[in-house]
Structure 1
Amino acid sequence: MSEYFEEQLNKLIVYQQLKCKCENNNHHEVLALVAEVGTFAVERLKTVIKNMPEFTLHDDTHIFNMLTIIGKLIPQENMKALSAPDLFMLIISVFLHDIGMAPDEKYILAWKNQLPEEEYDEELKEEREKFSRFRLTYTHQLADIERLIAEKEFSKAQLLEDYIVTEYIRTTHSIRAREIIATYWAGKIVYQDTDLTEDLATICYSHNESYTYLLQMESFRVCGQDEYLCIPFVATILRLADIIDFDPKRTPSVLFSHLAVKNPVSLNEWKKHQSINAWTISPKRILFSAQCEHPAIEATILAFCNQIDEELRNGTVILSNLSDDGMGINMETYKIPLPPQVDRRKIQAKKDIISGKPIYRYHDTKFSLSKKQIIDLLMGTKLYGKPEVALRELLQNSIDACLHGKPEVALRELLQNSIDACLLRQKLSELWGIEYTPKVKVSLYTKIMLITCK
């Protein structure tokens, strides 16, 4: 453990409490394990910016921010009453919850299809196949990639390819965290004689799941004489600390400029963090202060505050539903008060230095389409004017799909068009006052495929 890392740990309330309990009970191996896991996490998370250059930092800054937030969220009397396993798991789950953002290099190369074919074992082939299926869901980006390659805009095409890889890493990182923990830490996350590796993996996985996942967790793990680990409590605090970490240090200005962030989603994420200049967190209050240079950034921050509000509500539900299962545990330790919502009063427009007035006026307005009216328009006869024109268009689309040259595209288009035809007929039948139940029959032959609509 580096001197810097040790210094940062010793500043944390949650670590101070764990250290005190471990030293009093002569459990020095627990502190050594914390240092080992922390060093592993920090070193590995340094690779996130390599593979996900347009994402906010997920390094030791994020880790220590989260642990600081935990020390502020949990009241002091509750913090002192937490067991050593609770404190231990809070710390190492923060260390490892985002470890899935840093996959092994071989997987990155497999997803990008950059490995020699002889290096693909069964595992890598499966990974490549999983990513290929995921990639196919980004239809608009794939069309843009084809167009950019045709226009010889290779760097822009690669940017989109990297974006898809980044999204794959992000959306699957909690699953990968489980796998990394199983690979590197199986049987090693032990408190006294109790193996907590599976509990750690479950907690890390849960931070990216619906809060209802936490309601299904086992409440307590017995770790020793009168020592228990409250699994849903740790998972809840982890989620809250993760989402509340709204810190500009995760998006330093010099790095923001150097990276020349291009992806609009990442751009919003970076600028959102850039605008935050201060925050106050306590068991009773969460206050963010932000000076925004554009109303879109203010809207993004406020939307993120809404997410935090939802997580606070969900956390309250989870903690209030905790039960000791008749084990005689003091549940008041875990039923901590949470702020009802984020205080947004100091999230505002930046002021002009000369006039002292806000550089813009923010109004929470937005445009949206009426889903019902759009469906009525597209499913009725108004789109084409006459039913026979609509039918002709459906047939033409089917022919076009066949000419596309890809059987799976043709099949998909034919099925969709047949369904559309049935729905059109159903709509017309309603107008005519005739009862009609759509039926689609698919017959697949060696050379021809027949789809009939009744």
Structure 2
Amino acid sequence: MVSPELPSAAERNAARAADFEAFGGINLVHVRRQLSSLLELIGTGGIFDEYTKHDIRHIDGMLNSLDWIIPQETKEIMTTGDWLLTVLGIYFHDLGMLVTKDEYRARQHSGFERFKQEVLITDNDDGKEYAARLAELESNDVDIERLQYQEFVRYHHARRIKKWITGEADQEFGDSGAARTLVTEIVEKLGDTFRDDLAMVCESHHLDDLYDTEKYPVSNPYGLHSEECANVQYAAVLLRTADLLHITKDRTPSIAYRMITPSDPVSQFEWAKQASVRNVRDKVAIDGDGKADPAAPRNTVEVYADFTNGDAFFGLTSYLSYAEQQLIESRKWILESNERLASPHKFPWRSIDTKKVKAKGFLPEQFHFSLDDKKVLDLLTGHTLYSDSRVVLRELLQNSIDAVRLQHGTDSATNGHVWVKWDSNSRVMEVGDNGTGMTQSIIVNNLLKAGSSRYQEPDFKKEHPDFTPISRFGIGVMSTFMIADKVEVLTSHPVEEKSRHLSLRSAHGKYLVRLLDKHELPDEIKEHGTIVRLHVRPSVEADTIISAAHSWIVVPNCKVSTYVDDNEPEHIGHVDLKSALTHALIDNDATRAEEFAAGRIKVEEKTLDGVSMAYALEWDDYFKHWGFMRLPNLTFISLDEDFEDNQPFYAVGTCVEGIRVETTSPGFRDEDGIWACINAFGKSAPRTDVARRTLEATEERQALIAKAYELYCAHVSSEIDALESERDQSMTYAVQEAGFLATALHSSRSASSPALLFESLKDLPLFLGEDQSEERKKYTARELDQFTALHIRESNVSHYAEFLLRDIPQATSKIALLEVLGQPAQPIETNELMLCSALTSSDIANELIWSSWQVASLYGNLDRRLFDVKLIQGVTGNWSPIFVPPKYNTELRKFEDRRTPTALSRIPISGVESGGFPDEIVGVVLSRRMHLLPNHPWVQMVDSYRDEEGKLDPFDRRLICLSWLITQAWSNGSFGKFASGRAFQEQVKNMVRSALFSDFDADLFQEILRASSDKKLMDTRFWNRAND
């Protein structure tokens, strides 16, 4: 039963937030009542009283639209935090429109006059046209001053509500003190981090920076529970979309001025008066046969409206054009997050259907601009789209390979043939194939119609459902005029009795077709096939064009040959990726032929779900494993550079159906990668952009990158097994070497998708552990999740025990060994594990642990020079963050020097136990990171940051500043040395001038620091007199 208090499904989902501590027990029903009262005040001051409605009905309209805007699959994975942030964003986003009579009377004290001069009535043509339109309205007794203040508030209302939520006072955007106080009181129980995110979401619907996932993270935790986090970017996109599309009769959207018909306020005014939009909804998808398919995924919005006024009609259609572009941008941003950050939230909307927007009294047909075909073809065949004339050959070769694959199918490798011939005397280049050839219909409808690819037509897809072409844009033959003034095409199709000879002189001129008997054709294409002959201009270096084909054609799955004058033919491409990469390695360094023969290097090729990948490996005779071969440290290798410089690397990169599209190692963005090549084939293959320089940011590309990481990690896992089962090495040794082998993946900062790489690394057995049975086993990061706690012993004896176990082939227990050595381990309960791996030995293992676990207790034994650590699941809650949050990072960077560590010192907030440490020990070094003990010297500062209930947000700005300063202090050698140093004195002066440290007690921090000059950290790695 629908609750009258919370009528939308989104609100009811968000209401669950009352059960979670991170959201301060928020009562959404109470918030909605307060909100409704505030929204009713919009328009009462004479501003927005006629233009549009921003009451609770607007909010309800937006919330109800989420039912179809959010795909069902995304609804199922959205957290309570997602729903709460989205609903509150919708609740508050328009409150900045609230203008009281007092504010309007005090408008001269704001930035209103400057806004009029700098934004509205400017000196350029737009400003002059706007002023002329205002004159028309003034003649109709419209209060121009009030209308302009209305535009001022509308322009800044997103910034206004942001400042109200965060409690900041700023008269620049209007003196709205009373409204600001009311809003601040409503949200005061929410944590600082959540309030900051809510403020950014509300402001975001007037910004174009939603691509910035540091500002709008795709997963921001507010507490320990998995429901206490939110995808801030997705909430912002939902707010933006729901606001854009709520344009029904009761209101017009509150988008910023000059986003639609910027010089025509009349059309906006008339649209608002007309208010004739009947409905906005999702459109039923159309299948390949042109029939409606209610079960298919939907990606189009349709609008129903009736107008009797042309100005109002133009106002809406101009707005819808803008709204459609915003949908496209939003979809692009979300797709990029899907790929780069593995965000699961989907956003399918890409177009708006306006066929149902009617203007009564006008012709029913909606007229539109047409394109100048000649100019457009000039763009396609010139250097605007393609900056390198060598792509002409690539286009023709791809067309030929597709034709061969279509004609010969699985027999393409043996029966298919594509060739390139070059006669330097006549300057004629010929590209031919024994593929399908073309009928007259294909020539008319596809070959000579730019942008019309036969392979994308519904009838073709229906007839050949499993065929996946390389070509899909339909502009291949048009590109030939980049290098030729005369082009001839000979083609023969099996179903037609006659063959055809086409003569073309320009991309936008006429062409002639002559019918030929098939016996008049060259033998290669008598039955079927096509030859394209280009009379190449003298200015074009054709030799370079032909040689460049080596860098594109990697695994064509058919015979590809080049014939240059009277020279012997040369074959291009390889039978598989293994062969291609092997030849590339030897071409790069001829001595590698001997290394291959001696078994010191090899290439392996693996296949996984429509993907093949080959990678080069080199044998380490000392450590007994096959490791990835790294590329030399070169500048970026581009397909557009001289081929001679790239030749040794022609097989490295990403291919689609055997044609290389990207030139970096699979899964990496620049040259810092591995000798590897991946080939995607079949329906799951990603698509290239129109210039074929890269892959489009789609789910298919994301899946391809994930498979590359999976195949890399599969090799590391296989080496772990081989070290144990085939090379007589211990489990300890194998797991430690796994961390080293994986550094070839992890050490590069150029991963195409760090999030997807991190997910793959979670499946590597990088950890050793022992449970109550004292049986030593290897674990992946995912497998560790089955335990309620992990125990770590930090001591030199413990570290040396691992070194000893590393060189003992038999699986011996560390727990038993520590007992013998006089350092018995802490008792381990059921479902707990002693983590034996040293976290300092592998950066990957280190990051994997701290992404899921946090310290629950620290117990020391100074006599034995050890301390024990207990970890429990969770990232934040007990401790301050490991790294500076992105929103503070830029400001803090101003005060850092080159010695500053990247990771923060960790400050216990709550729930951390400790014992056994003398008073002079204030913290420990664990995993190369300082962890303060609960009785550290800055306890009183931390306690002052807590709220009335004693709770503290781990991302509290002051806590971050404190953690950063402690890190700075210790990185300078000792607390006392830093406190008395001149550098610190200067740093404090600079900090207090920063807004980040505005209410931070730097004097108290300095005082505590001086008093702590004798305090130490316990670091078992450096137990010597210099540290005593």
TM exceeds 0.5? yes
- Check 1:143–1:205 CA distance in 2 against 1; reply closer, same or farther (3 A cut): closer
SS at match of 1:348: strand
CA distance in 2, matches of 1:270, 1:198: 33
Question: Take 2:23 and 2:230, find their aligned partners in 1: how far apart are those partners?
Answer: 18
State the alpha-carbon separation in 1 of the partners of residues 306 and 140 from structure 2.
32
Amino acid at match of 1:279: V
CA distance in 2, matches of 1:270, 1:158: 14
Q: Which moved more, 1:190-199 or 1:101-110?
A: 190-199
- What's 1:221 paired with? 220
Matches of residues 50-449 of structure 1 in structure 2 within 5 Å? 50-111=46-107, 124=109, 127=110, 130-137=111-118, 138=121, 159-181=143-165, 182=167, 183-184=180-181, 185-186=183-184, 189=187, 195-212=193-210, 214-215=212-213, 217-219=215-217, 220-225=219-224, 226=226, 227-250=228-251, 264-271=266-273, 274-281=275-282, 283-322=298-337, 331-332=343-344, 334=345, 336-350=346-360, 362-364=366-368
Deviation, structure 1 residue 168: 0.9
Question: Does the CA contact (< 8 Å) of 1:93 and 1:204 recur in 2?
Answer: yes
- Which has the larger strand fraction? 2
Contact 1:103 1:176 in 2 (8 A): no
- The change in CA–CA distance for 1:172 and 1:285 in structure 2 (over 3 A counts) is same
Residues 214 and 235, structure 1, Cα contact 8 Å, conserved in 2: no
Structure 1 unpaired stretches of 5+ = 114-123, 252-262, 353-357, 367-454
Distance 2:146 2:114 in 1: 16
Higher relative contact order (CA 8 A, sep 6+): 1
Q: What is the one-letter code of the residue matched to 1:338?
A: P
- Any gaps of 5 or more consecutive residues in structure 2? 123-127, 168-179, 253-264, 284-297, 371-1028
Between the aligned partners of 1:202 and 1:104, the Cα distance in structure 2 is: 24
State the 1:90 CA deviation: 0.7
AA aligned opposite 1:133: R
2:42 is matched with 48
Deviation of 1:187 after TM superposition, in Å, equals 8.1
Check whether the contact 1:211–1:314 (CA below 8 A) recurs between aligned residues: no
Structure 1 residue 361 displacement after superposition: 5.1
Q: Distance in 2 between matches of 1:346 and 1:154?
A: 33
Q: What amino acid sits opposite 2:277 in the alignment?
A: I
Deviation at 1:24, TM superposition (A): 7.0
SS at match of 2:202: helix
Quick one: distance in 1 between partners of 2:101 and 2:365?
Answer: 47
Change over 3 Å in CA distance of 1:17–1:247 after alignment to 2: same
Amino acid at match of 1:231: V
In structure 2, the CA distance between the partners of 1:196 and 1:190, relative to structure 1 (3 Å rule), is farther
In structure 1, how many angstroms separate the alpha carbons of the residues matched to 2:351 and 2:131?
42
Contact 1:86 1:229 in 2 (8 A): yes
Q: SS at the partner of 2:150?
A: helix
Q: Distance in 1 between matches of 2:129 and 2:367?
A: 32
> Structure 1 residues 324, 301: closer, same or farther in 2, change over 3 A?
closer
**Does the CA-based 8 Å contact 1:96-1:204 persist in structure 2?**
yes
Deviation at 1:212, TM superposition (A): 4.9
Whole-angstrom CA distance in 1 between matches of 2:335 and 2:194: 24
Deviates more, 1:277-286 or 1:76-85: 277-286
- 1:68-102: per-residue Cα shift (whole Å, max 9, x none)? 11121112232132111110111111011111111
TM-score by length of 2: 0.28
Q: What per-residue deviation string (whole Å, max 9, x for no partner) do you get for residues 361-417 of structure 1? A: 542369xxxxxxxxxxxxxxxxxxxxxxxxxxxxxxxxxxxxxxxxxxxxxxxxxxx
Q: TM-score, normalised by structure 1?
A: 0.60
Q: Do 2:8 and 2:64's aligned partners in 1 also have CA atoms closer than 8 Å?
A: yes
Query: RMSD between aligned alpha carbons?
Result: 3.9
Contact preservation (8 Å) 1:189, 1:196: no
Query: What's the CA shift string for 1:333-381, capped at 9, x where partnerless?
Result: x1x132220122222234x8xxxxx666542369xxxxxxxxxxxxxxx
How many angstroms apart in 2 are the aligned matches of 1:320 and 1:287?
22
* 1:156–1:86 distance in 2 versus 1, CA, 3 Å: same
1:295, 1:360 within 8 Å by CA — same for their partners in 2? no
Q: What amino acid does structure 2 have at the position aligned with 1:221?
A: N
The structural deviation recorded for 1:56 is 1.3
SS of the residue corresponding to residue 48 of structure 1 reads: coil
Give the C-alpha shift of residue 244 in structure 1: 0.6
- Per-residue deviation, 1:28: 9.7
Q: What is the CA-CA distance between 1:192 and the residue it aligns to?
A: 7.5
**Whole-angstrom CA distance in 1 between matches of 2:100 and 2:88:** 20
Distance 1:143 1:206, change over 3 A: closer
Q: Does 1:10 align with 2:11?
A: no
Instruction: Report how far residue 320 of structure 1 moved.
Output: 1.6
CA, structure 1 residues 154+228, in 2 after alignment: closer, same or farther (shift >3 Å)?
closer
In structure 1, what is the Cα distance between the partners aligned to 2:268 and 2:318?
Answer: 15
Task: Indicate how the Cα distance of structure 1 residues 224 and 243 shifts in structure 2: closer, same or farther if over 3 A, else same.
Answer: same
Cα distance in 2 between the residues matched to 1:194 and 1:318: 26
Q: Report the Cα distance in structure 1 between the residues aligned to 2:357 and 2:138, rounded to whole angstroms.
A: 40
Give the superposition deviation at 1:108. Answer: 1.3
The 3 A distance-change label for structure 1 pair 321 and 104 is: farther
1:304 to 1:158, Cα distance in 2 relative to 1, 3 A: closer
Cross-structure match for 2:747: none
Aligned 8 A contact 2:26 2:189 in 1:
no
Residues in 1 aligned to 2:317 and 2:191: alpha-carbon distance in whole angstroms:
46
Provide the C-alpha distance between the structure 1 equivalents of 2:88 and 2:352, rounded to a whole number of angstroms.
27
- Taking a change above 3 Å as real, the CA distance of residues 108 and 192 of structure 1, as seen in their structure-2 partners, is closer
* Kept in 1: contact 2:31–2:186 (CA 8 A): no
Task: Name the CA distance, whole Å, in 1 between partners of 2:132 and 2:245.
Answer: 35
Cα distance in 2 for partners of 1:321, 1:191 equals 34
- How far did 1:104 drift? 4.3
Whole-angstrom distance in 2 between the partners of 1:216 and 1:347: 39
2:130 and 2:364 map into 1 onto residues whose CA distance is 37
Structure of larger gyration radius: 2
Indicate the SS of the match to 2:196: helix
Residue 75 of structure 1 aligns with an amino acid whose one-letter code is P
Which residue identity does 1:269 align to in structure 2?
Answer: W
Secondary structure at 2:222 match in 1? strand
CA contact (8 A) 2:11 2:83 kept: yes
Over 3 Å counting, the alpha-carbon distance change for 1:38 and 1:312 in structure 2 is same
Give the Cα separation in 1 of the matches to 2:347 and 2:148: 40
Give the conservation status (yes or no) of the 8 Å contact 2:270–2:312.
yes
Q: 1:245 to 1:331 in 2, by over 3 A?
A: same
The one of 30, 40, 48 aligned to 1:36: 30
Q: Which stretch of the first structure deviates more once superposed, 92-101 or 296-305?
A: 296-305
Counterparts of 1:280 and 1:14, CA distance in 2: 17
Q: Distance in 1 between matches of 2:130 and 2:347?
A: 48
Greater fraction helix: 1
